[in-house]
Amino acid sequence: MTKPLRKAVLPVAGLGTRFLPATKAMAKEMLPVVDKPLIQYAVEEARAAGIQQFCLITGRGKTAIVEHFDIAYELEATLRMRHKEAELRMLREAQLPPGAMVTVRQQEPMGLGHAIWCARAFVGDDPFAILLPDDLVLSETPCTQQLAEAYYQTGGCVVAVTEVPRDQTNRYGILDIGADDGRLVEVKGLVEKPKPEDAPSNLSIIGRYVLRPEVMQYLGMLERGAGGEVQLTDAMAKLIGQVPFHGLRYEGRRFDCGDKIGFLEAQIAFALKRPEMAAQVHAFLKNYV
């Protein structure tokens, strides 16, 4: 029987150096796209997939992320007094039930695999999703919901994948693929940041995963991979052949919000999806393009 997917791990310990000085005293995950921080997009996407429990892998200076999902009594009282009902509803929709979010500190920056391993007690024996808030996906069906549906179909690990230019494979985790029905791709192997001439394909993993808990035993070996870090890709590769493993060509468009250009593009794309803003955004863009 396939266990229900109810848990998500969100690594948020990074320093955000590409956005300095904005991130000197502010967590990069709190950078807003239009009017909502990146971390809230990730949590809302996970909740749409039926996820109920969240583990933030944090570092120093990340307390604002937790506070964002807490109750702001003074703010809510002020909004009530001013009859700002729409704003009150917006705040309440972002809140999580008591006990739904926990935090774990990653004391040393040892890579994504190490960050996920820090959540081992939270994960236990359950399947879990991983969402990297830097990756923002604009889609009709939330990306993690698409992965959850594929997980319930296959019963194994599923990662979101997209095609990248062959000369950029050294930036990503790349799939060695087997059977391919155009949507679900059988994963025969995984290679972290291969040189273009060594890449088995140009299908890249983005920051969305649904994994079985068995991956923790391999992460726990703390083996160093590319860049001298503990790589999640290396641990996932060891699961291939033990559990079903697939890549999902998700519906939607991904924006790399860890990159300044990707972040700016996301601002425009998400603003254009807002009915109350689209016409004005179209109008002012004509002044620059």
3-state helix, strand, coil in the chain (%, to 5): 35, 25, 35
Q: Give domain 7-285's CATH number out of 3.40.50.20, 3.90.550.10, 2.30.30.40, 3.90.1150.10.
A: 3.90.550.10
Task: Domain ranges for the chain, please list them.
Answer: 7-285
DSSP letter for 73, please.
H
Query: Given this model, what pLDDT does residue 140 score?
Result: 94
What is the DSSP code string of 60-72? TT-HHHHHHTS--
Cβ neighbors of 67 (< 8 A, separation 6 or more) are none
pLDDT at 168: 85
Q: How far apart are CA 215 and CA 85, in angstroms?
A: 45
Per-residue model confidence (pLDDT) at position 125 = 95
Question: What residue spans of 168-221 are helical by DSSP H?
Answer: 215-219
Q: Give the predicted TM-score (pTM) of the model.
A: 0.92
Q: What is the mean pLDDT of each run of 10 residues along the chain (289 residues)?
A: 93 87 89 95 96 93 87 90 91 88 89 93 96 95 97 94 88 86 90 86 92 94 82 91 93 94 96 94 90
Report whether 174 contacts 244 (CB < 8 A).
Answer: no
Distance CA 46, CA 213 (A): 18
Q: Write down the pLDDT at residue 252.
A: 95
pLDDT computed for residue 109 by the predictor: 80
Task: Give the pLDDT confidence score for residue 197 in this predicted structure.
Answer: 87
Separation CA 178–CA 106 (nearest Å): 36
The one-letter code for the residue type at 278 is A
pLDDT reported for residue 104: 94
Res 179: pLDDT: 85
